């Protein structure tokens, strides 16, 4: 069933677990995610980025997600806009069936971010839709998000409190050391998330926190991609132990996109390499779908949301 994140996040905060927010781009990804959620009896967030809307079309994605909800009535599903860049995009999604939207004003000045976020919140709340805001800037590149190294900034706890008071957002994406894409850290770097900062923000704002750029860049997928002709070199993500730890510090939603891409790419490359005479797309896309299911089940265990429907 389609729902907002309000009650799901309350339960997650109380239980110190998080709900996976998985980016969707096509039928196989949605089917794979839902099969994983069903097997694990976990609520799930299906989120659509600007890149997904451009690739698949909003109407197609909406109908696919509605089908997922109809086919899995026992699974709570949040239909979420990821990184909405302006009011018009958010309004369009609110008016067309989304139950949750993110307005990402982090590229603007603080004052403009507040004004834009409040405008979206006021409209969304009038329609029963919840809003995620963002304060601080994550480095890295994914879809239409690109922030060069050295241009990011951590979220300031006191500013976060002011932001939440002025905007009325329902959840807040924070910058505590994660980054977008498959190359989050140098291979010789020691990944570190600022959990003290995260806890301080949580204690002050008293709303659910969101972790973007949290894919772990699972190395078994990277190795499989490279073994079957790929060239994904030097990739490194957030250790899963750190993702689990974040759920103890007010994080109720964890975004996962890169790990889906890697899982699908690895399975597709392997299938095509091992079956060079195959031209039935259902076979390699079916393998990719199964890979998504297994990866999602693994992530649900890491986040602790299994059995929480």
pLDDT digits (tens, 9 = 90+) for 50-80: 999 999 999 999 999 999 999 999 999 999 9
Determine the pLDDT at residue 141.
46
Which residues pair with residue 157 across a beta bridge? none
Report the domain count for the chain.
1
The residue annotated as part of the active site, out of 82, 104, 156, 259, is 82
Determine the pLDDT at residue 179.
72
Residue 108 lies in a domain: yes
Residue 69 lies in a domain: yes
Q: Which of 254, 186, 251, 261 is nearest to 225 (CA)?
A: 261
The pair of structure tokens assigned to 76 is: 């709570």
Our answer to whether residue 162 is catalytic in this structure is no
Residue 309 lies in a domain: no
d(Cα 82, Cα 65) in Å, to the nearest integer?
15
Q: What pLDDT, in 10s, does the model give residues 209-230?
A: 999 988 788 899 999 999 999 9
Q: Which helix (H) or strand (E) holds 210?
A: strand 209-211
CB-neighbour burial class of residue 5 (10 A; exposed 0-12, middle 13-18, buried 19+): buried
> Which distant-in-sequence residues (6+ apart) come within 8 Å of 260 by Cβ?
22, 23, 29, 292, 295
b/e sequence 197-225, b meaning 16+ C-beta within 10 Å: bbbbbbebbebbbbbbbbbbbbeebbebb
Residue 294 lies in a domain: yes
Half-sphere exposure of 266 (CA within 13 A, CB side): 23
> Which distant-in-sequence residues (6+ apart) come within 8 Å of 190 by Cβ?
none
CATH at 74: 3.20.20.70
- This prediction has a pTM of 0.92
Look up residue 249 and give its DSSP letter: G
Determine the pLDDT at residue 278.
97
pLDDT at 286 over 80: yes
- Which tops the pLDDT comparison, 20 or 148? 20
Measure CA 34 to chain center: 15
Q: Give the structural domain span for 218.
A: 2-303
Residue 142 lies in a domain: yes
């Amino acid at each position: 069933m389609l729902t907002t994140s309000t009650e799901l996040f309350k339960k997650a905060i109380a239980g110190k677990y998080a709900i996976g927010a998985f980016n969707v781009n096509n039928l196989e990804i949605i089917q794979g995610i839902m099969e994983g959620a069903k097997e694990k009896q976990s609520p799930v967030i299906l989120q659509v980025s600007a890149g997904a809307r451009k690739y698949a079309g909003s109407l197609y994605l909406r109908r696919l997600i509605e089908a997922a909800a109809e086919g899995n009535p026992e699974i709570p599903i949040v239909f979420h806009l990821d990184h909405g860049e302006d009011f018009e995009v958010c309004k369009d999604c609110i008016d067309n069936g989304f139950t949750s939207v993110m307005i990402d004003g982090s590229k603007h000045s603080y004052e403009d971010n507040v004004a834009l976020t409040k405008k979206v919140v006021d409209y969304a709340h009038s329609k029963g839709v919840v809003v995620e805001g963002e304060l601080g800037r994550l480095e890295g590149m994914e879809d239409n998000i690109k922030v060069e190294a050295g241009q990011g900034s951590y979220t300031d706890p006191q500013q976060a409190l002011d932001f939440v008071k002025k905007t009325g957002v329902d959840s807040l994406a924070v910058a505590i050391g994660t980054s977008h894409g498959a190359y989050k850290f140098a291979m010789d770097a020691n990944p570190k998330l600022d959990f003290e900062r995260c806890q301080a923000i949580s204690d002050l704002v008293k709303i659910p926190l969101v972790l973007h750029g949290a894919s772990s860049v699972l190395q078994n997928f990277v190795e499989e991609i490279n073994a079957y002709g790929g060239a994904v070199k030097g990739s490194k993500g957030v250790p899963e132990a750190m993702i689990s730890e974040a759920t103890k510090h007010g994080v109720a939603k964890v975004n996962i996109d890169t790990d889906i891409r890697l899982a699908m790419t690895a399975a597709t490359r392997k299938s095509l390499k091992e079956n060079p005479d195959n031209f039935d797309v259902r076979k390699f896309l079916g393998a990719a779908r199964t890979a998504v299911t297994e990866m999602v089940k693994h992530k649900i265990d890491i986040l602790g949301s299994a059995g929480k429907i």
